[in-house]
């Protein structure tokens, strides 16, 4: 598309649908968009069975010594001792680092639960501060309304939480020589990488699944996420891709006519009449992004959507084909809830995190199957000022954790990190996809989706997924074997 066509299309889209202040909201990281997805084959795995819940008196502020810094709150963590070999054997500890959700039921913990017996590992699951039952003031709403308390809601404080709990557990269990492997997916995967970098004396290694640690500070192009979404659809069906690409202008045209929103509401069977055009477009955006991000076997949601679009009766118009695609994917829903928002806790908690430090500049760009748009930091800042009265700090993540020239930098001092990614996951565009050193390893699969490798295995798993998990297992086993050899040589311990 030449530049003139790009400008004309952008002007048309904005004039019909978007006010100048509209800011496209980047896709969430970890949690599934439950309001616009079909029930997954693998529903979230309960981590309550065989576990005991504990609460740690956690320090509110790890980095200052003001009176309020010494305030504590109850932080939840769950333990499973069933398979642990015990401290006399220096058996390992697997620690799952909680992300932007309450601890309890999580869709991507199966790998850890299945492999703990093979390593005779203690399982530890730690809830992220401010989420679930680990909230200093008892609820997300109360904490976010308190300008002082919410200032302690950040990734650095969360990492310090994990370190304090893990050190406490090693002391409590006399497990001083038990190696710890931290595990996380998505935002939790980012935390796992950063934890290994910041606390190498606590964690011997880290498994980071689908961790877009490079999607900050324009290291990764803004449209990279949606470029992968678009490629996923193109790879399944070129005609499906082109139908979606054309549909945005059709939506704009109908919305611009008298009673156009009523027509669109009826055509798309929305649960209530659309308030504006962008409500429908954002709904479709979430659906397409979600199906690509979680394009898991054996159902492959992108294939389902495209099957509906391409399989519509001959003569069906563009928007009729889009509706057919939605129906093929969400066949069991009565109407389309375009007003979907997650729970207050997860939605507002993540809103705060992305308005403060986790600023990932994601938008459509001009060469995807979506309507053209670019991330605007000034517009995002307006949103954050309206929501919390704060300015985002878009450069802080790379300042504190690094990211620029990552191959050159990490090769000098980092070790024992697995960067696991599936290339059908749009967030893989911000991940580490090549080995940095012998122990900074990228495990990449062409057909993998978001955090799929962390799920419980199934009999019909494709061979590439089985191989991916075996590779991760082999690497971790090598780390632990090397650790024991060093431990034995250094301390003359019987292992």
186 is catalytic: yes
74 neighbors 56 (Cβ within 8 angstroms):
yes
Cα separation, 94 vs 193, in Å, equals 15
Q: Please work out, in degrees rounded to the nearest 5, the angle formed at the alpha carbon of residue 303 by the alpha carbons of 471 and 25.
A: 85
Residue among 436, 472, 434 nearest 452 (CA): 472
User: SS3 for 12?
Assistant: helix
Q: Catalytic: which of 30, 143, 186, 209? A: 186
CA-based end-to-end distance of the chain: 65
Q: Catalytic: which of 83, 128, 364, 450? A: 450
* φ/ψ bin of 117: left (φ > 0), alpha (ψ from -120 to 50), beta (otherwise): alpha
Q: Catalytic: which of 425, 428, 449, 453? A: 425
Token code pair at residue 185? 């997916």
Residue among 402, 404, 400, 394 nearest 358 (CA): 394
C-alpha 137: how far from chain center: 26
358 neighbors 155 (Cβ within 8 angstroms):
yes
> Which ranges in 337-394 belong to alpha helices (H)?
344-356, 377-388
As annotated, the active-site residues are 186, 425, 450
């Amino acid at each position: 598309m030449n530049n003139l066509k790009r400008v004309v299309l952008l002007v048309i889209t904005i004039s019909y649908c978007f006010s100048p202040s509209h800011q496209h909201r980047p896709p969430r990281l970890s949690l599934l968009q439950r309001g616009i997805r079909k029930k997954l084959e693998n529903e979230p795995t309960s981590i309550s069975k065989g576990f005991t819940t504990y609460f740690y008196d956690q320090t509110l502020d790890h980095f200052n010594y003001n009176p309020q810094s010494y305030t504590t709150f109850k932080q939840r963590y769950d333990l499973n001792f069933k398979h642990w070999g015990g401290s006399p054997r220096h058996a390992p500890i697997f620690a799952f680092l909680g992300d932007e959700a309450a601890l309890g039921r999580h869709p991507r913990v199966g790998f850890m639960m299945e492999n703990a017996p093979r390593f005779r590992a203690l399982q530890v699951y730690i809830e992220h501060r401010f989420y679930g039952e680990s909230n200093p003031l008892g609820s997300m709403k109360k904490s976010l309304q308190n300008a002082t308390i919410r200032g302690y809601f950040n990734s650095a404080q969360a990492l310090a939480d994990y370190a304090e709990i893990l050190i406490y557990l090693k002391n409590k269990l006399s497990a001083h020589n038990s190696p710890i492997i931290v595990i996380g997916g998505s935002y939790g995967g980012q935390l796992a990488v950063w934890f290994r970098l910041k606390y190498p004396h606590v964690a011997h290694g880290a498994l980071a699944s689908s961790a877009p640690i490079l999607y900050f500070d324009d290291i990764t192009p803004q449209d990279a996420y949606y470029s992968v979404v678009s490629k996923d659809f193109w790879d399944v069906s070129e005609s499906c891709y082109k139908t979606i690409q054309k549909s945005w202008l059709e939506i704009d045209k109908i919305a611009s006519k008298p009673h156009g929103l009523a027509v669109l509401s009826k055509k798309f069977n929305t649960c209530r009449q659309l308030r504006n055009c962008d409500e429908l477009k954002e709904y479709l955006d979430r659906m397409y992004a979600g199906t690509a991000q979680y394009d898991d076997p054996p159902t492959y949601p992108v294939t389902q959507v495209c099957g509906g679009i391409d399989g519509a009766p001959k003569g069906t118009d563009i928007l009729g084909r889009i509706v057919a695609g939605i129906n093929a994917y969400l066949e069991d829903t009565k109407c389309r809830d375009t007003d979907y928002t997650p729970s207050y806790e997860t939605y507002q908690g993540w809103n705060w995190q992305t308005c403060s430090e986790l600023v990932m500049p994601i938008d459509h760009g001009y060469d995807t199957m979506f309507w053209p748009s670019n991330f605007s930091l000034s517009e995002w800042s307006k949103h954050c000022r309206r929501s919390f009265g704060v300015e985002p700090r878009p450069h802080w993540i790379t300042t504190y954790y690094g990211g620029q020239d990552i191959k050159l930098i990490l090769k000098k001092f980092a070790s024992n990190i697995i960067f696991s990614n599936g290339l059908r996951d749009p967030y893989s565009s911000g991940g580490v996809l090549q080995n940095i050193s012998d122990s900074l390893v990228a495990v990449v699969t062409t057909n993998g989706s978001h955090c799929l490798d962390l799920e419980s295995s199934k009999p019909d798993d494709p061979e590439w997924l089985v191989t991916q998990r075996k590779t991760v297992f082999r690497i971790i086993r090598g780390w632990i074997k090397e650790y024991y050899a060093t431990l034995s040589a250094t301390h003359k311990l019987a292992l």
